[in-house]
Amino acid sequence: MDHQVYYRFAQTNGVPQESKLANYMNIQNSSGSLHQSFQSKLSIEPKKPLTSPQCVGGTSLVSSAPASPNIFNSFTPTLDPSPIRCVSDHPENSSQSASPNRVSSCSPMSDVNNIAVAAYQENVGGTTYFYPTTSETCHATDVAVNSNLTSDYNVYPGTPNHITSLKAKQGASFFISKDLQMELMNRNALTLMQANQQYADLPQVENYHELCPLERIPSNSLHKTHLGYQASMYKAIHTKTGTPYCLRRLHGFRLQNAKCMVVVDLWKNLNHSNIVQLQEVFTTKAFGDNSLIFVYDYYPGSETLLSKYFSSDQPDPFAPDTSPRPYSHQKNSILRHQQNNKLPEFLIWNYIIQLTSALRLIHSSGLACRSLDPTKIIITSKNRLRLSCLGVMDVVLNENSASVNPLALVQHYQQEDLTALGKLVLALACKSTVAVQRENISTAVDIISRSYTSDLRNLIMYLLSPQQRKSITDLMPMIGARFYTQMDNLHSYIEVLEYELSKEIENGRLFRLMAKLGTINERPELNMDGAWAETGDRYMLKLFRDYVFHQVTEDGRPWVDMAHIVQCLNKLDAGVPEKICLMSRDEQSMLVVSYAELKHCLEQSFHEILNASPVKKDLIECETEKKV
Ligand SMILES: Nc1ncnc2c1ncn2[C@@H]1O[C@H](COP(=O)(O)OP(=O)(O)OP(=O)(O)O)[C@@H](O)[C@H]1O
């Protein structure tokens, strides 16, 4: 089959693009598809002109790679294998030396992001080549690496060394890791979750709608929690911002006075990574009663420490043994249970660090938690703990009477917090909530002395000792160097997340590019022009779309290669001077075109669409306005 090869430059108008811009050569190709044998035939082109350095504005991209049409072989994973050197403009370069072969009709390649690329053409053996003009060519001696030179495109920076081992484990990918993806998607799904039919009649409460219970709402009002008040939890969406929140409702609660709102304001200002932030507190009759609502940040997929570690499925080893077995027998079974189920010590210290960190802020703000309980601490992924019920006790008990010294009261509650922390750590170490009951404490401490370090035991003993006046700051030396381990783990995890994020930034960039391509390709009409998408610049982009996405093997089967797609899009985004060969669908014509030209076509065509569009929005608009 005969193919006509056209070298196209700048002349983007005219229908079709195959208007003869240059001489052509005929190439025999048996299959007609874009495959290697065809490519090898094309690479017979003389190398000399094609390897000449090409200067883009003040920056020269000196490439040793042949610029011959390269189809399958060009799918190497790097953007451009050639070394890229930044060359400053040299006065000598600006004088254009005329060459007999250079035709004055050569049109400078039009502005690509303000980068003018001029060109001349030359006929070698019947094939026309286009080169940058002398003014643009730069001598190697002029090369001066200018570190301040900024480009309008990003080059994929590779993977940081410390991530590579992890990457090797996970398997390199263009996308965010599967585990993280699943986790985030799961959270999204939970955030979008809607109440089923049973709760369809839940009202809108002030600015919060789409209420969805986070636990079964007990129909029995005798099911009391929170100091005698029935309580329920909902996810709700803020009507104005669309942000999800968590509402804790106390049923049938009448607020006597508004003094407690002073403390509420203190809680609202408390911001810490281990605290569920309180947003607001209000009363409502929307449920048909007097309800008190506490609005907190919503953390999808969280569960309480109680449900995570103290499952009711397993019998508690510390539960009173009614059988007539000797005490030693029960102690042995507790030991066995503890050995089989015990939490790793580093995890317990991890929790201690998080909880003490939150308590430190709370106490130093003149407040007390008062709900340090496994049911009021939520845990999300990566063992992140958060105190989830802050401020409720202060409002419900509302002890702001004149007779009470508020400072003394807070100090008392802070001491209670520390005792509660000791019990919590003991319960976690024994995996038993019954272990913290007064009669079990000595057995429990004995048990943990056998399983954990003396540091952990000492911390628990300190917190549970009734005599001393304790302080949260006393715990810091007890935690000691474990802080550094925790920090190191956190920093490593941040680096992993940043690496995952950087991949998605690249994907976002390519998505915007594809959004532009998709907006242009196959558009039925623009400004009453039904042939718009099939002519001029758009025709080039259509062929490019085929080149990127519709490659086939020699025998016509689809060739799906992500690396090829990503590489082509990256080169398009960068507008590199590398040329590719595009073929019309009827296989009668081929066009040799550079990515820089294609990028220009894309920008031009997209602008045409934007200019005709009444609404210019979101990503595409941002992207476009940034570049214009
Ligand atoms: N801020 C929050 N974001 C998301 N889910 C939360 C949040 N706070 C609590 N939850 C979830 O709501 C559910 C109920 O929480 P709650 O604090 O009422 O615990 P509980 O074990 O039911 O305690 P109680 O028996 O005292 O009501 C739990 O599954 C918990 O994980």
Prior bond of 16 cis (ω within 30°)? yes
Pocket test for ligand 1, best of 234, 272, 304, 310 (most atoms within 8 A of CB): 304
- List the beta bridge partners of residue 579: 594
Q: Is 301 annotated as a binding residue?
A: yes
Mean pLDDT value across the chain: 75
CB within 8 A of 442, min separation 6: which ones? none
User: Which residue has the CA at smallest separation from atom 12 of ligand 1?
Assistant: 214
Q: Is 122 annotated as a binding residue?
A: no
Res. 403: pLDDT tops 70 = no
Nearest-atom index, ligand 1, CA of 389: 17
Q: Is the beta carbon of 193 within 6 A of some atom in ligand 1?
A: no
Task: Give residue for tokens 């940043």.
Answer: 498
The CA 233 to ligand 1 mean position distance, Å, reads: 6
Of the ranges 46-60, 117-131, 169-183, which one carries the lowest mean pLDDT score? 46-60
Residue 489 burial (C-beta neighbours within 10 Å; 0-12, 13-18, 19+): middle
| Best mean pLDDT range from 305-314, 497-506, 593-602 | 593-602
Average pLDDT, integer, range 517-545: 92
User: Which residue has the CA at smallest separation from atom 19 of ligand 1?
Assistant: 375
| Best mean pLDDT range from 35-39, 174-178, 212-216 | 212-216
CATH numbers and ranges of domains, the chain: 186-216+225-310+338-473 (1.10.510.10), 502-621 (1.10.287.3700)
Res. 586: pLDDT tops 80 = yes
The CA 369 to ligand 1 mean position distance, Å, reads: 16
User: Which residue has the CA at smallest separation from atom 29 of ligand 1?
Assistant: 303
- Largest pairwise CA distance in the chain: 112
Say what the pLDDT of residue 255 is.
Answer: 85
The CA 362 to ligand 1 mean position distance, Å, reads: 20
Say what the pLDDT of residue 622 is.
Answer: 53
Q: Is 370 annotated as a binding residue?
A: no
At residue 128, φ and ψ (nearest 5 deg) are -95, 130
Closest CA to 294 of 328, 332, 260, 330: 260
How many other CB atoms are there within 10 angstroms of residue 129's CB atom?
22
User: Which residue has the CA at smallest separation from atom 30 of ligand 1?
Assistant: 303
**Nearest-10 Cα torsion for 593, 595, 61, 104:** 40
Closest CA to 430 of 395, 397, 464: 464
Res. 318: pLDDT tops 90 = no
Say what the pLDDT of residue 232 is.
Answer: 92
Q: Is 534 annotated as a binding residue?
A: no
**pLDDT tens across 37-66, in order?**
333 333 333 333 333 333 333 333 333 333
Q: Is the beta carbon of 304 within 6 A of some atom in ligand 1?
A: yes
Cβ-contact 94, 103 below 8 angstroms:
no
**pLDDT tens across 235-260, in order?**
999 999 999 999 999 999 888 888 88
∠ CA 625-627-628, rounded to 5°: 65
Say what the pLDDT of residue 115 is.
Answer: 40
The CA 304 to ligand 1 mean position distance, Å, reads: 6
The CA 169 to ligand 1 mean position distance, Å, reads: 36
Q: Is the beta carbon of 452 within 6 A of some atom in ligand 1?
A: no
Q: Is the beta carbon of 276 within 6 A of some atom in ligand 1?
A: yes
Say what the pLDDT of residue 398 is.
Answer: 73
Tokens, residue 310: 């103290």
Average pLDDT, integer, range 164-170: 55
Q: Which of the four pLDDT bands, split at 50, 70 and 90, describes residue 601? A: very high
Average pLDDT, integer, range 269-290: 95
Say what the pLDDT of residue 614 is.
Answer: 84
Task: Give residue for tokens 């019947």.
Answer: 126
Q: Is the beta carbon of 298 within 6 A of some atom in ligand 1?
A: yes
User: For the residues of 309-326, what is the DSSP string, one character each?
Assistant: HS-TTSPPTTS---SS--
Cβ-contact 235, 214 below 8 angstroms:
yes
Tokens, residue 453: 């370090």
Tokens, residue 59: 């920056």
Say what the pLDDT of residue 4 is.
Answer: 39
Pocket test for ligand 1, best of 378, 390, 433 (most atoms within 8 A of CB): 378
Q: How far apart are CA 148 and CA 276, in angstroms?
A: 45
Closest CA to 588 of 127, 3, 17, 163: 3
Tokens, residue 60: 């020269």
Q: Is 225 annotated as a binding residue?
A: no
Res. 520: pLDDT tops 70 = yes
The CA 603 to ligand 1 mean position distance, Å, reads: 52
CB within 8 A of 282, min separation 6: which ones? 206, 292, 293, 295
Average pLDDT, integer, range 294-311: 94
Tokens, residue 177: 């890791």
Q: Is the beta carbon of 370 within 6 A of some atom in ligand 1?
A: no
Of the ranges 10-24, 210-224, 357-371, which one carries the lowest mean pLDDT score? 10-24
Q: How many residues does the chain have?
A: 628
What share of the chain has pLDDT > 90, as a percent? 46
**Nearest-10 Cα torsion for 254, 260, 261, 266:** -140
Closest CA to 519 of 436, 611, 444, 383: 611
Q: Where is pLDDT greater, at 132 or 59?
A: 132
The CA 117 to ligand 1 mean position distance, Å, reads: 63
Q: Is the beta carbon of 214 within 6 A of some atom in ligand 1?
A: yes
Q: Where is pLDDT greater, at 351 or 224?
A: 351
Q: Is the beta carbon of 376 within 6 A of some atom in ligand 1?
A: yes
* β-strand pairing of 589-594 with 579-583: antiparallel
Q: Is the beta carbon of 303 within 6 A of some atom in ligand 1?
A: yes
Q: Which of the four pLDDT bands, split at 50, 70 and 90, describes residue 373? A: very high
Q: Is the beta carbon of 131 within 6 A of some atom in ligand 1?
A: no
Q: Where is pLDDT greater, at 118 or 338?
A: 338
Say what the pLDDT of residue 576 is.
Answer: 96
Q: Is the beta carbon of 217 within 6 A of some atom in ligand 1?
A: no
**Can you point out the beta strands (E) in 251-383?**
278-284, 291-297, 303-304, 377-380
Res. 605: pLDDT tops 60 = yes
Q: Is the beta carbon of 392 within 6 A of some atom in ligand 1?
A: no
Say what the pLDDT of residue 467 is.
Answer: 79
Q: Which of the four pLDDT bands, split at 50, 70 and 90, describes residue 327? A: low
| Best mean pLDDT range from 14-23, 169-178, 224-233, 458-467 | 458-467
Task: Give residue for tokens 């703990």.
Answer: 385
Say what the pLDDT of residue 20 is.
Answer: 30
User: For the residues of 101-116, what is the DSSP string, one character each?
Assistant: T--TTPPPEEEETTEE
Say what the pLDDT of residue 260 is.
Answer: 85
Tokens, residue 260: 């407690």
ipTM metric: 0.97
Q: How far apart are CA 24 and CA 47, in angstroms?
A: 17
Residue 89 burial (C-beta neighbours within 10 Å; 0-12, 13-18, 19+): middle
Average pLDDT, integer, range 473-482: 94
Res. 506: pLDDT tops 70 = yes
Q: Where is pLDDT greater, at 119 or 308?
A: 308
Closest CA to 605 of 494, 527, 505: 527
Res. 156: pLDDT tops 70 = no
Average pLDDT, integer, range 113-128: 51
Average pLDDT, integer, range 54-82: 33
- H helical segments located in 376-481: 392-397, 406-430, 441-451, 454-464, 475-479
Say what the pLDDT of residue 408 is.
Answer: 79
Res. 147: pLDDT tops 70 = no
Say what the pLDDT of residue 616 is.
Answer: 65
Q: Is the beta carbon of 486 within 6 A of some atom in ligand 1?
A: no
Cβ-contact 460, 422 below 8 angstroms:
yes
Question: Containing H/E element for 236?
Answer: strand 231-238
Q: Is 465 annotated as a binding residue?
A: no
Say what the pLDDT of residue 425 is.
Answer: 97
* β-strand pairing of 589-594 with 4-7: parallel
First to last CA, the chain: 43
Res. 7: pLDDT tops 90 = no
| Best mean pLDDT range from 168-182, 245-259, 318-332, 365-379 | 365-379
The CA 355 to ligand 1 mean position distance, Å, reads: 17
245-257 burial: b if 16+ Cβ within 10 Å, else e:
bbbbbbbebebee
Looking at residue 329, its amino acid is H
Q: Which of the four pLDDT bands, split at 50, 70 and 90, describes residue 16? A: very low
The CA 215 to ligand 1 mean position distance, Å, reads: 7
The CA 224 to ligand 1 mean position distance, Å, reads: 15
pTM of the predicted protein model? 0.67
Say what the pLDDT of residue 124 is.
Answer: 58
Residue 602 burial (C-beta neighbours within 10 Å; 0-12, 13-18, 19+): buried
Cβ-contact 463, 425 below 8 angstroms:
yes
Average pLDDT, integer, range 382-411: 83
